[in-house]
């Protein structure tokens, strides 16, 4: 310590204590200096010393050094003085204890005191140099407060804090980091690999690339990555922010950063996104619905109004034949409007009306549906073969009957001129997933219409009966059962297969119907 060196030099000079030049040197020294004899009497206190303790010139000379010692310590201090002179040596006073000086005005202030022995002619003296620690202590306390505040902030934000030494590749991390990575919750030095090994294998290269770039640019970065927690192997999502610390030469020496577990937030976000997506889809569907409905209901309305007017015109002109055909058009359009409204009602009920899921075999569902279309089947002499051993499914039974009824009806409708019309209903397992099918040897579906046929009011041919709601209805019901439906067709040779799946869990018995699928 510089002060020590200075003090030794001064002590040396003080052997010439009565030398006026040396007295002057001591007096003007920037350090607070005090010369005491072995009885504890102040022989000399320099200007800085007096300023520090609030005394005027010469007020201290000849006084007991006890005046500068806090009252409670005085009895012990005497002993210290004696002890010091018994074994005089240059040393710091009160090692390990906080020392205080007593000012003239009674205030205490923290000090550091160095002692050195002076061999002056005749007797040993002690030179004390005193440093005021008030400022240093205050700064230290402030630093401690800042550190504590940072620690608390990190704790409140649930941030793990780490400090990576780039030269040693060691990472100092705090208790929270330990917790985040499923390691002992304590502040410790870990190797960089402890972090790297926990990061998901697919994401690590990209993560390390980001860190490398951050270091190269001496900048900061924000990342998000998946880790496997050491304690339980759970996958967690970590959000990280870090910043490079450079030395005086501008070389990157450390990377300091924070980690936060955002797994729950991300999961909640995913649920929210999925929900939003579903809402958007529903909204789009509703829009399409309104569009088609308004179009398809307006059409017959135009017909009705126009031909009613035309009929009365024809009546005025005495053209009763024409008038009669006008009225037939009016009637048919009104009828069509009626059917449309009925079908729409059916479709809209789908969203709301739910029957509790029943455990029932698709075979019996198909048979029930066959009964419902028996008339048409007989009319066109179609052979319907339903596989006898289809598995049990947990479904809204009446709705599934509707599905099969529509698919059978559709197959019969597009049977065309097949020589031996035939419909097969069955199931196959593909990659452990059950796929149900309704297959016919009818006219087939052209590739470009295979999506379109599931749309509302889509009819490919004017000649066919129906409103174009059937397959849209089927699709909705299958979707309500978390399934998918699609069509394959051997165009132009004929033959169509409608495939569908049920439920998410491989179409397994039990969990086919998710309750949330029904609003």
- Interface residue list for another protein (CB under 8 A): 291, 294-295, 298-299, 301-303, 305-310, 329, 333, 449, 458-462
Helix or strand or coil: residue 438? strand
- Nearest 5°: the CA angle 196, 198, 199 is 70
Residue among 246 and 460 whose Cβ is closer to another protein: 460
Residue 156 DSSP symbol: H
- Least distance from C-beta 294 to another protein, angstroms? 8
Query: What tokens appear for 423 in the block?
Result: 């419909």
Backbone angles phi, psi at 184, to 5 degrees: -50, 135
Residue among 378 and 462 whose Cβ is closer to another protein: 462
- Least distance from C-beta 338 to another protein, angstroms? 16
Distance CA 283, CA 276 (A): 10
Distance CA 248, CA 318 (A): 108
- Least distance from C-beta 288 to another protein, angstroms? 10
H or E stretch at 112: strand 108-120
- Nearest 5°: the CA angle 461, 446, 478 is 85
Helix or strand or coil: residue 275? helix
Residue among 204 and 297 whose Cβ is closer to another protein: 297
Residue among 303 and 366 whose Cβ is closer to another protein: 303
Residue among 118 and 311 whose Cβ is closer to another protein: 311
- Least distance from C-beta 515 to another protein, angstroms? 35
Distance CA 446, CA 416 (A): 14
- Least distance from C-beta 298 to another protein, angstroms? 4
- Least distance from C-beta 318 to another protein, angstroms? 17
- Least distance from C-beta 301 to another protein, angstroms? 6
Residue 355 DSSP symbol: P
Distance CA 306, CA 330 (A): 9
Residue among 87 and 462 whose Cβ is closer to another protein: 462
Residue among 275 and 291 whose Cβ is closer to another protein: 291
How, if at all, do strands 383-386 and 422-430 pair?
parallel
Residue among 305 and 484 whose Cβ is closer to another protein: 305
Non-local (6+) Cβ contacts of 216 within 8 A are none
How far is the first Cα of the chain from the last one, in angstroms, to the nearest whole number?
80
Residue among 117 and 308 whose Cβ is closer to another protein: 308
How, if at all, do strands 188-191 and 220-228 pair?
unpaired
Q: How many CB atoms lie within 10 A of CB 284?
A: 10
- Least distance from C-beta 315 to another protein, angstroms? 14
- Least distance from C-beta 478 to another protein, angstroms? 24
- Least distance from C-beta 319 to another protein, angstroms? 12
Distance CA 503, CA 435 (A): 11
- Phi-psi map region of 28: left, alpha, beta (phi>0 left; psi -120 to 50 alpha): alpha
Residue among 250 and 318 whose Cβ is closer to another protein: 318
Distance CA 15, CA 119 (A): 7
Environment class of residue 386 by beta-carbon count within 10 Å: exposed (0-12), middle (13-18) or buried (19+)? buried
């Amino acid at each position: 310590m510089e002060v020590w060196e200075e003090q030794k030099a001064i002590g040396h000079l003080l052997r010439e204590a009565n030398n006026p030049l040396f007295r002057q040197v001591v007096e003007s020294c920037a350090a607070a200096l005090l010369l005491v004899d072995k009885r504890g009497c102040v022989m000399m206190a320099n200007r800085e010393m007096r300023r520090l303790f609030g005394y005027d010139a010469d007020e201290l000379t000849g006084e007991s050094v006890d005046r500068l010692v806090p009252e409670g310590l005085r009895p012990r201090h005497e002993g210290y003085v004696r002890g010091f002179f018994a074994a005089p040596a240059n040393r710091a006073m009160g090692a390990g204890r906080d020392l205080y000086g007593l000012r003239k005005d009674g205030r205490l202030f923290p000090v550091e005191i160095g002692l050195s022995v002076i061999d002056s002619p005749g007797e040993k003296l002690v030179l004390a140099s005193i440093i005021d620690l008030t400022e240093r202590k205050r700064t230290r306390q402030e630093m401690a407060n800042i550190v504590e505040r940072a620690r608390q902030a990190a704790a409140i934000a649930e941030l793990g804090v780490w400090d990576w030494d780039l030269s040693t590749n060691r990472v100092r991390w705090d208790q929270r980091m330990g917790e985040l990575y499923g390691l002992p919750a304590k502040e410790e030095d870990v190797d960089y690999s402890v972090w790297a090994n926990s990061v998901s294998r697919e994401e690590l290269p990209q993560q390390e690339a980001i860190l490398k770039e951050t270091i190269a640019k001496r900048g900061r970065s924000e990342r998000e990555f998946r880790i496997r927690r050491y304690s339980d192997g759970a996958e967690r999502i970590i959000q990280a922010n870090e910043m490079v610390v450079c030395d005086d030469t501008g070389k990157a020496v450390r990377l300091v950063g924070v980690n936060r577990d955002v797994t729950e937030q991300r999961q909640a976000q995913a649920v929210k996104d999925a929900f939003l997506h579903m809402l958007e889809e529903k909204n789009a569907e509703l829009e399409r619905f309104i569009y088609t409905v308004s179009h398809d209901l307006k059409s017959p309305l135009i017909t009705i109004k126009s031909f009613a007017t035309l009929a009365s015109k024809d009546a005025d002109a005495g053209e009763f034949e024409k008038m009669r055909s006008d009225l037939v058009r009016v009637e048919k359009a009104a009828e069509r409007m009626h059917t449309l409204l009925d079908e729409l009602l059916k479709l809209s009920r789908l969203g709301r009306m739910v029957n509790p899921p029943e455990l029932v075999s698709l075979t019996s569902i198909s048979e029930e549906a066959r009964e419902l279309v028996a008339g048409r089947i007989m009319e066109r002499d179609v052979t319907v073969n339903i596989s006898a051993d289809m598995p049990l499914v947990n479904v809204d039974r009446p709705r599934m009957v509707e599905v099969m009824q529509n698919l059978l009806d559709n197959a019969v409708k597009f049977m065309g001129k097949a020589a031996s019309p035939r419909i097969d209903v069955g199931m196959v397992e593909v990659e452990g997933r059950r796929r149900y099918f309704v297959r016919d040897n009818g006219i087939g579906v052209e590739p470009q219409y295979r999506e379109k046929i599931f749309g509302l009011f889509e009819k490919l041919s004017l000649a066919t009966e129906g409103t174009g709601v059937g397959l849209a209805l089927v699709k909705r019901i299958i979707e309500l059962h978390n399934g998918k439906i699609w069509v394959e067709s051997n165009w132009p040779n004929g033959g169509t297969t409608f495939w569908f799946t049920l439920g998410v869990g491989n179409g397994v018995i039990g969990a086919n119907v998710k309750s949330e699928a029904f609003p």
